[in-house]
Amino acid sequence: MASWSWLKRELEDAEAEVKRWPAWMRSAKETMKIQTKADYQKAITRIDMLLDAKPDTPDGEELDTLVDLVKHYETEHVKTT
């Protein structure tokens, strides 16, 4: 039977790192860009955490920014068939 503990650790690490985003995100919002697949995965994880955010709140603004960044990344890097 396969052990999924490695995946749990990966997700926990990603969530811990993503939780630090809001502090620097507000100050660097205009210059941010998702550059790697790892950045992309972290953004998706954070979006999942913010799905219930209310508009016009810091979390809502963060959600909007991340969605825009993910859309931009997907247009340039994700192939659709």
**pTM reported for the whole predicted model:** 0.62
d(CA 73, CA 52): 23
> Where do the domains of the chain lie?
35-81
Q: Which pLDDT score, from 0 to 100, does residue 57 have?
A: 87
Q: Is it the case that residue 3 has pLDDT exceeding 90?
A: no
pLDDT tens column, 33-81: 888 888 899 899 999 999 999 988 888 888 998 999 999 999 988 777 6
DSSP 5: H
One-letter-per-residue 3-state SS of 54-79: CCCCHHHHHHHHHHHHHHHHHHHHCC
pLDDT tens column, 5-31: 777 787 788 777 766 666 555 555 545
